[in-house]
Amino acid sequence: MSAPTNVAPVIIKRKKVKGGDGHHGGAWKVAYADFVTAMMAFFMLMWLLNATTEKQRKGLADYFSPSIPINRVSGGGDGAFSGDSIFAEESLSRNGSGASRKHPTSNKQARGDTGIETDGGKREAQAKRFNDVESALTGNSGESTVEDDLLQHIVTRVTDEGLIIELFALEDRPLFHPETDRPTRLLKDLSRVVVQAAALVTNDIAVGGYVHAYPTPLAHNPVWDLSSARADRLRSLLEAAGEAPERMRRVVGHADRNLAVQDPMSVRNNRLEVILLRD
């Protein structure tokens, strides 16, 4: 029989401790979304800088920082609204856009840019002048002095470069004697007509020459020399007809590039261009 003992029993108590790796909410998701959005905006900015021209980038910058004046005249109030606006002539040096009256005199108006583009009016005026030249050449206004037999050799079109006056040959009516730069009577008459029409404007002039394509197996392909010689011949005809030499800006031969019709050997590809360049 075992001896009695007074040792207390050992009680083990296990306490559950909750860890700190539980759910912390969604704040990190918001921060991550902001980071991804910022990265996307960054790459979009890099793409825009690479894919746009200098003029387009300037337009984007002007959109986010407009410089159009809101008020050209003094506010005339008190307190926070006292005195002149930031565009007034007394608040700015005389190189801004402000004025203290709606109809200021020349010595009471700040000079310089107003923030409002004025190119629109210039473009409209130039477009009207180009239209006058086209009407004089093609008879759209009913007042053309160009004879019908000459009209069929003239085509005009307006491009970003300016007004292009195209003179082209037909099967039975060439502009030059075959394979030379010697002009025919037709081209001499056309050059006088062009000079008369170009007198309506003061734009500078560029001359270009084009020829039809030749068969490939040629020891010497004359397209470059011939087109350049014909363009220069037209320049001399224009000057002989009264055009000022100072208006001539360039004379270029384009060979058989930029064909007018699909057939590369067509006579219609023998043509000359007189370009009234934009200001």
Report mean pLDDT in 10-residue bins for the chain, 279 residues. 63 67 72 92 87 81 61 47 47 44 48 48 83 81 64 90 93 92 94 93 95 83 93 96 94 92 91 93
- The Cα 201–Cα 276 span in angstroms is 9
pLDDT score at 167: 94
pLDDT of residue 28: 86
* Cα angle value 183/188/194 (rounded, 5°): 125
The pLDDT value given to residue 96: 42
Given a contact cutoff of 8 angstroms between Cβ atoms, the answer to whether 274 and 234 are in contact is yes
CA distance 17 to 15: 6
C-alpha–C-alpha distance, residues 148 and 142, integer Å: 12
Q: Residue 59: what pLDDT?
A: 78
- Model confidence, pTM: 0.56
Nearest CA to 238 out of 277, 205, 216 is that of 205
Find, among 201, 179, 277, 198, the residue nearest to 237 by Cα. Answer: 198
Q: Say if residues 118 and 161 touch (Cβ distance below 8 Å).
A: no
pLDDT of residue 36: 94
